[in-house]
């Protein structure tokens, strides 16, 4: 049904309005009672083999929705009811901002990919914190929520740390885990912050802030990197994350590379700049996980994102060393039943290989 809807309607609507309409339908159909509970019943309880404890958090299933879909924390519960094991909201900035001029989101159907230059459009940390506070206080099941924070575009370079710290102060009390995003290609100068000399003091301050405002609870902190980093820079970030005692790395963000795309060059030129997500990130994303696993030696959590379309994709990342995986573009192209299908097939793959729990498969390839 979704395939037919996508072919005949959604792909004819510009990508960003289609996203708003689809997300609105998800919130309306799977958010309020009694419809939400009906959706949860349809999705079913994840197979017990998929459950794992990562960073001290109980994840019912390993496939989560990546940051970028629910930027403002408006529908985490509804999205979880579709079958996602967790939802990462954001990227949220300390200050509200409209993002880059439209159009800024484009489909590349021949590549099963998207190009975006959204520019961290969101309603700001204070507004998002209020929504998350309401979610925490609401009755019923609660989704596992990660919060991804980035730099406000208006913040000058010497204000960047204070900007991230402000977001952490407001949002950490309502997050199951936090992610510092320094890898989006759509905020000027942001990727320069992946340099370890700049990143170390930023992460140290955010880490100290989380510990201060969440003194009675442990909120894990991860850093999100891009696949465009050189191998030695990936190693440097891994070493720094270990040194600082971070909880993990989210790998990877979108890529500015257009290598290997089958979409016509004329179309790519018309679209212009932005980060590519989806199938083109499959091989690079897996390579980064393997690199991180080798460098981290299993000491920190890896959440793998980028180019995951099938259960086989997810399983390859898990066996390479990822404890959790995320998708976004796969959800756009495959529809609302996608997380349930991936989890069902992943459970079958785990059992076929003799694993009785997901954690047993994490990094299995490195052990053979």
Q: What is the spatial distance between Cα 157 and Cα 151, in angstroms, rounded to a whole number?
A: 9
DSSP letters, 143-186, are --EEEEE---TTS-GGGHHHHHHHHHHHHGGG-SEEEEE---TT
CB 135 within 8 A of CB 166: no
Which position among 184, 277, 282, 304 bears the catalytic label?
184
Active site residue 184: yes
DSSP letters, 301-355, are EEEEESS--SHHHHHHHHHHT-SEEEESHHHHHH-TTHHHHHHHHHHHHHHHTT-
Residues 6+ apart with CB under 8 A from 254: 116, 184, 185, 226, 274, 275, 276, 277, 281, 306
DSSP letters, 92-114, are E-SS-B--SPSP-EEEEGGGTEE
**Three-state SS for 54?**
strand
Q: What is the DSSP letter of 122?
A: B
Q: What is the DSSP letter of 47?
A: P
**Helix (H) and strand (E) counts in the chain:** 15, 13
For residue 7, which of 20, 18, 16 has the smallest C-alpha distance? Answer: 18
Q: What is the spatial distance between Cα 69 and Cα 75, in angstroms, rounded to a whole number?
A: 10
Which residues are annotated as catalytic?
184
């Amino acid at each position: 049904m979704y395939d037919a809807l996508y072919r005949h309607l959604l792909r004819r609507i510009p990508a960003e309005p289609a996203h708003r309409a689809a997300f609105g339908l998800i919130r309306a159909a799977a958010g309020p009672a009694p419809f939400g509970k009906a959706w949860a019943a349809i999705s079913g309880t994840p197979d017990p083999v998929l459950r794992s404890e990562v960073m001290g958090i109980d994840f019912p299933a390993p496939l989560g929705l990546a940051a970028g879909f629910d930027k403002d924390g408006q529908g985490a519960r509804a999205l979880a009811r579709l079958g996602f094991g967790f939802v990462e909201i954001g990227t949220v900035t300390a200050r509200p901002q409209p993002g880059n001029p439209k159009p800024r989101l484009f489909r590349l159907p021949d590549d099963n990919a998207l190009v975006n230059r959204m520019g961290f459009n969101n309603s700001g940390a204070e507004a998002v914190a209020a929504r998350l506070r309401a979610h925490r206080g609401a009755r019923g099941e609660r989704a596992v929520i990660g919060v991804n924070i980035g730099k406000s575009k208006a913040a000058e370079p010497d204000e960047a740390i204070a900007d991230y710290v402000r977001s952490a102060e407001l949002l950490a009390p309502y997050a199951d885990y936090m992610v510092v995003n320094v890898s989006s290609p759509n905020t000027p100068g942001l990727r320069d912050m992946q340099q370890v000399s700049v990143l170390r003091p930023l992460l140290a301050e955010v880490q100290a802030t989380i510990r201060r405002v969440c003194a009675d609870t442990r909120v894990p902190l991860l850093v999100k990197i891009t696949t465009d980093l050189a191998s030695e820079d990936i190693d440097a970030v891994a070493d720094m994350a270990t040194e600082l005692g971070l909880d993990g790395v989210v790998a990877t963000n979108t890529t500015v590379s257009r290598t290997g795309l089958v979409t016509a060059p004329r179309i790519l030129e018309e679209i212009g700049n932005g980060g590519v997500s989806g199938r083109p990130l499959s091989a690079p994303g897996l390579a980064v996980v393997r690199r991180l696993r080798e460098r981290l030696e299993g000491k920190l959590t890896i959440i793998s994102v980028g180019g995951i379309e099938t259960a086989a994709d997810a399983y390859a990342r898990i066996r390479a060393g990822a404890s959790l995986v995320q998708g976004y573009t796969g959800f756009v192209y495959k529809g609302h039943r996608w997380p349930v299908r991936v989890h069902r097939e992943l459970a079958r793959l785990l059992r076929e290989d003799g694993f009785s729990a997901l954690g047993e498969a994490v990094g299995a390839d490195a052990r053979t």
